[in-house]
Amino acid sequence: MSVREIKKYPDKALREKTHRVTDCDAELDKLIDDMIETMYAAPGVGLAANQVGVSKQVAVIDVSVRDEKSLLIVLVNPEIVHFEGEVEAEEGCLSVPDYTTVLKRAMKVCVKGLDRNGKPVEIEAEGLLARALQHEIDHLNGILFVDRMGRIRKEFFKKRYAREKLLKK
Ligand code: NI
């Protein structure tokens, strides 16, 4: 296993809609293992394959980062089939370091996809897990959490964040 480099905003890889996985093979296994290690090393509660530059519909999530018990979820070709309610909470992203914002998301979701062996899985979630699922599935569709902010906050973010990151380089 190895830790891969996480692509940062405004990298183009984060803007691409990823490809569906058609084979659960050794290459996919290696990608998933590396993504898990990269997520824990960051540390973060979720990671999508295009955040490490791979255009595949693969996401890993573990919202238990601060607890001892691991709640690791690996999802291949995930899709949200049901949204319910609305809730606001603070959100951030490993690809947009040093920035968080309060964002409205569905309170509950139901997600269908495959596990790493290609077996169908269905997850019903609420709270932080529901938020993480929506965030990671957005990634796989080329959408960043900052895209979901209001217009004014978005413009402010683009100006300020882009300028600060350029200055740091
Ligand atoms: Ni993210």
Give tens-digit pLDDT for 78-101.
999 999 999 999 999 999 999 999
Distances (CA, A) of 28 to 8, 57, 76, 97, 153: 23, 11, 10, 27, 37
pLDDT digits (tens, 9 = 90+) for 115-146: 999 999 999 999 999 999 999 999 999 999 99
What percent of the chain clears pLDDT 90, i.e. is strictly above it? 87
CA dist 1 and 166 (Å) reads: 32
Query: Above 70 in pLDDT, residue 113?
Result: yes
Ramachandran bin of 154, using left for φ above 0, alpha for ψ from -120 to 50, beta for the remaining angles = alpha
| Mean pLDDT across 17-31 | 97
User: Residue 95 C-alpha to ligand 1 middle, in angstroms?
Assistant: 6
pTM for the complete prediction? 0.94
Name the 3-class secondary structure at 58.
Answer: strand
Per-residue tokens: 111: 């997600």
User: Angle at CA 95, nearest 5°, toward 89 and 101?
Assistant: 25
User: In sequence order, which residues have a C-beta less than 8 Å from that of residue 43 and are 6 or more positions away?
Assistant: 65
Residue ranges covered by each domain of the chain: 12-168
Looking up tokens 């590396």 gives: 34
| Mean pLDDT across 30-45 | 97
User: Angle at CA 136, nearest 5°, toward 30 and 82?
Assistant: 120
Query: Above 80 in pLDDT, residue 65?
Result: no
**Residue 48: which H helix or E strand, with range?**
strand 46-48
Per-residue tokens: 15: 């803007």
- pLDDT value, residue 42: 96
User: Residue 47 C-alpha to ligand 1 middle, in angstroms?
Assistant: 6
- The mean pLDDT value of the chain amounts to 94
Residues serving a catalytic function are: 136
User: Residue 122 C-alpha to ligand 1 middle, in angstroms?
Assistant: 22
User: Residue 18 C-alpha to ligand 1 middle, in angstroms?
Assistant: 14
Query: Above 60 in pLDDT, residue 103?
Result: yes
Per-residue tokens: 163: 């300028």
- pLDDT value, residue 57: 98
Q: Which CATH class is domain 12-168?
A: alpha beta
- pLDDT value, residue 61: 97
